[in-house]
Every structure is written in C-alpha cells, then in structure tokens.
Homo-oligomer: A and B are copies of this chain.
Amino acid sequence: MAAPEIEKLIRLFGRLPGLGPRSSQRAVLALLKRRETLLAPLLQALEETARAARSCSRCGNLDTRDPCGLCTDPRREEHALLVVEAVEDLWAMERAGSFRGRYHVLGGTLSAADAVGPEELGIDRLLGRIATEKMEEVILALSATVDGQTTAHYLAERLRPLPVRVTRLGYGVPVGGELNYLDEGTLAAALRSRQPVG
C-alpha cells in the first residue's frame, strides 16, 4: 500500500530479531514522523557503524578498533579469560560488570547436527592464545544447553594439560537457558559461584 521504497524498508526492518511485520511498520512510521530527531541520526549512526565496525582479530568482539577496546584496556586483568559463544554473551557479561579480564568469542558451539567441529570454532587458536598470553584462569561461560555443555567439557579436556585453572559459570544459570537472556544479577551471581571443571 505504501511506496515500494517504504515497503522495502519495512520488510528489511522485519528481518531484525524481535520485529514482526506490524512492529517494523510502526518503527518505520516512527522514523518518518521524526525525520530530524530520529531518522537522520539513525542513518548517520548506521553509516558510521557500517564503515567502522570490525571483528577483533584477537577475541572476536565487535568494535571499531582491532584489537578491540577490551583487548587493549590496560586496566583489565591480562591473565583471566572468559570464553563465550557469541558477541551477545560478551556484551551481556559486560553489562553485568563483574568480570574484569579478557574475553574470547568462540562464534558458536560444537554441534554434531550442524557439523561444527573444533576447527570451525578455532579451538587450536584459542589454546594457542591461552598459552601465549599466559592465562591463569579460563572461565567457560557457555550456555547451559546440550551443545554448550558438550563444548565446555571438550574445552576442559583440551585445557587439562595446560597450567591453567579452568572454571565454569556456577549457580544461577538456568538449565536450558541462553546466557544472553539472563538479567545482570543472575550473571553476576553465576560468575561469583564459578566452579572448577573436570
């Protein structure tokens, strides 16, 4: 019913997580009603982000610098590494605010169904990083799903020969829950009660 350009914009918004056809239509109308105060700044921020954002080659975080701000922040502990599945999880941990070390984003979990093995996740690179950067503790902050826990067990086995304390997030992660949906308090509690693995 609207012009093709506007319909196309609504369809594209509808492909974002959490936006259905109606909510994306509402979002586009909100943008068109607030051209100067919302559409123009959003357009500019999208352009800047599209131009500047890149994956950190060290940890996998998304940032405008490589290495990212978390990898280069001198105030953070250098010898504690928190391993997460996805950038979402890294950001969720940062919102919780209780971890002050470094991160590693796996980019997924081991999955027989999806044919994701250790190579796809760059496990050798992770092990190399843990050795090179002399990590003293590796916290496996993986989802409490079957694939997440399979991945945690696999990593714990591979890390056993290294002089590193391996822990996992403790009480607080609901079974079957995805890290990214947890509130900050639960994440902080889970970090405090982390436990040795294997």
Contacts and interface: CB of A to CB of B under 8 A. Distances in A.
A94 interface: yes
Contact of A47 (B19, B26, B43, B95): B43
B2 A17 contact: no
For this chain, the copies found in one complex come to 2
A29 B69 CA distance: 17
Contact of A1 (B35, B53, B94): B94
Interface of A: 1-3, 5-6, 8-9, 12-13, 15-19, 23, 25-32, 35, 38-43, 45-50, 52-53, 62-65, 69-70, 87-88, 90-91, 94-95, 180
Given A1-B95, A5-B45, A5-B64, 4 more contacts: A3-B63, A3-B64, A3-B69, A19-B27
